[in-house]
A and B are shown apart, each in its own frame.
Chain A
Amino acid sequence: RKEVEQDPGPFNVPEGATVAFNCTYSNSASQSFFWYRQDCRKEPKLLMSVYSSGNEDGRFTAQLNRASQYISLLIRDSKLSDSATYLCVVNLGTGRRALTFGSGTRLQVQP
């Protein structure tokens, strides 16, 4: 089992749709969680940190489910500009002291 696992997609959705991605992680002691967005041929950019109580930033909502060891990202009212790869990033808390990246989920929002 991969340490951080994501569905690679692509998710093809129409503008205005709601789309959700999940990401599972292997270590129950994992300490911090992030969603990054990466556009083609650009660097990853921090979208949001994921807190235990869940958090929302405009159209984006992130949730953490420690019992089932996954985090989720919900995008409401999708825009064409949301088309990108979404990377799940986890501090697995294994003592390695580095973040572990999932392989990314590709989202394509269509007009």
Chain B
Amino acid sequence: DTEVTQTPKHLVMGMTNKKSLKCEQHMGHRAMYWYKQKAKKPPELMFVYSYEKLSINESVPSRFSPECPNSSLLNLHLHALQPEDSALYLCASSQVQDNEQFFGPGTRLTVL
């Protein structure tokens, strides 16, 4: 299995909702990442987990809360988001941190 999967593909939520994005990989990779991407911009790193521990938090607002339950799974919990948080949220994994990354198809999030 050489892919990264993400659910849901699309998500529409209100500013008071709580939702979670999920990411899974079965390549035995030990680093996993969350990125945010706005239209016509490159992916912007949010969080990095290495060996299931949070390695990098790019000063992301606390309304985004990552979780790594095990080496194959990565979640992003969302609460009290703002309309400007609407974007494509990409998960990626790599064998170890710093190696080439493989991306999931993303979750397209709209905050109303």
Contacts and interface: CB of A to CB of B under 8 A. Distances in A.
Interface of A: 31-32, 34, 41-46, 49, 87, 91, 96-99, 101-104
A49 B101 CA distance: 11
Contacts of B12: none
Per DSSP, chain B at the interface is: loop
Interface string B88-112: 1010000001111111111010000
B98 A44 contact: no
Size range of the interface on B? Answer: 20 to 34
Interface of B: 41-43, 45, 48, 55-56, 88, 90, 97-106, 108
B98 A31 contact: yes
Contacts of A104: 42
27 contacts: A31-B98, A32-B98, A32-B99, A32-B100, A42-B105, A43-B90, A43-B103, A43-B105, A43-B106, A46-B100, A46-B102, A49-B100, A87-B42, A91-B98, A96-B56, A97-B55, A97-B97, A97-B98, A98-B45, A98-B48, A98-B97, A99-B98, A99-B101, A101-B43, A102-B42, A103-B41, A104-B42
A5 B88 CA distance: 22
Contacts of B42: 87, 101-104
Across the A-B interface, the 5 shortest Cβ-Cβ residue pairs: A43-B103, A101-B42, A97-B97, A91-B98, A44-B103
Nearest to A102: B42
Residue among A32, A44, A49, A101 with max Cβ neighbours from chain B (10 Å): A44
